[in-house]
Amino acid sequence: MKRTDVEHRVRQFAWPTPSAGLRDRVVSAAAVPQHTITWSDRMWFSRTWRLSALAAIVLLGALEYLAGLPRSAELALSPQVLADAAVIGETGRELGLSSDAADALVRRALTEASRPRTFDQGRTLQDFVPEGERR
């Protein structure tokens, strides 16, 4: 007898089925939980939500990129600031700096002048220390 013959005979056996009473008891005792679809399932498996989340991420990335672009600071600068920057450039060249280094100093001065100030220039650090901690 070969292995295939044994497998064929095993497949031909009629497997016993449980009685109807046993089957009813098992089915009645089995508690099948009702699967509810939660809001997070609806969100993650929704193509619309995934596409809108991707669009929001791309939009935030574009806004971050646009926020990092250099702004035209010359419009907000006063003539005094521009004159001071020109003096810085001339002084740097007279001191022997290369024109690239002097131009970098001018750009840095213009950038610093165009930044918004976070506190009043007339105030000192002592003005921000609480009354009880001042020396």
Q: What is the mean pLDDT of residues 62-73?
A: 76
User: Residue 19 corresponds to which tokens in the numbers above?
Assistant: 């009685």
Query: Burial of 89 by CB count in 10 Å (0-12 exposed, 13-18 middle, 19+ buried)?
Result: buried
Structure tokens that stand for 102 in this block: 């002097």
Ranges of each domain in the chain: 39-68, 71-115
Q: How confident is the model at residue 122 (pLDDT cuts 50, 70, 90)?
A: low
Model confidence over 90-109: pLDDT tens digits? 999 999 999 999 999 999 88
- State the pLDDT confidence band at 66, using cuts at 50, 70 and 90: confident
- For residue 75, the model assigns a pLDDT of 53
Q: pTM above 0.85?
A: no
Phi, then psi, of 20 in degrees rounded to 5: -65, -35
Which amino acid is residue 35, in one-letter code?
A: H
